[in-house]
Amino acid sequence: MISTRAARADDEAALAKLDERTWTPAVSPAPAPPPGTPFFDDGTRPGDVLVAEHDGAVAGYVRLGAGFGIPAHRHVVVIDGLAVDPDRRRLGIARQLVEAAVAEARRRGARKVTLRVLGPNTGARRVYERCGFVVEGVLRGEFRIDGEDVDDVLMARFLA
């Protein structure tokens, strides 16, 4: 059984380990988090994260952000990260997390949810599309990863 909930401070170790296990240059242009890097910090609080549990264990998370910190952008919630335990993929966890993020954005009064995903990350792009996200733009060659130009795909879902 898969359930989603708000993250708690005691999820710290499981979420940090999940970040270590899921980071690859195919999913993030940022450097890999060094072992022992805390998951929660000034930029990520437990209230910014939804956790998926599968059979009682943390199986994934979605991180929400505010985007631009200005009043004109308050109606937008940003999906700042999505990760699923590699041993628990293809169970619908990612889709459930994205839908939970959309529901939380609605609860917060958002009218739009946005995200960025690397062009070659077709698995994540399919999940987002199945959850109603559409491509709003592509920043061609925005990143140089392992000697290759990689597109940054901007996606969004409007909340009616």
Q: Are strands 49-54 and 57-65 parallel, antiparallel or unpaired?
A: antiparallel
State the number of CA atoms in the 13 A half-sphere of 120 facing the CB.
15
Tens digit of each residue's pLDDT (9 = 90 or more) over 100-149: 999 999 999 999 999 999 999 999 999 999 999 999 999 999 999 999 99
What's the predicted TM-score (pTM) here?
Answer: 0.94
Residue 33 has pLDDT above 90, yes or no: no
- Contact criterion met (CB below 8 Å) for 157 and 115: no
Print the domain residue range for 99.
2-158
Q: Name the domain count of the chain.
A: 1
CATH number of domain containing 18: 3.40.630.30
Parallel/antiparallel/unpaired status of strands 112-118 and 148-158: antiparallel
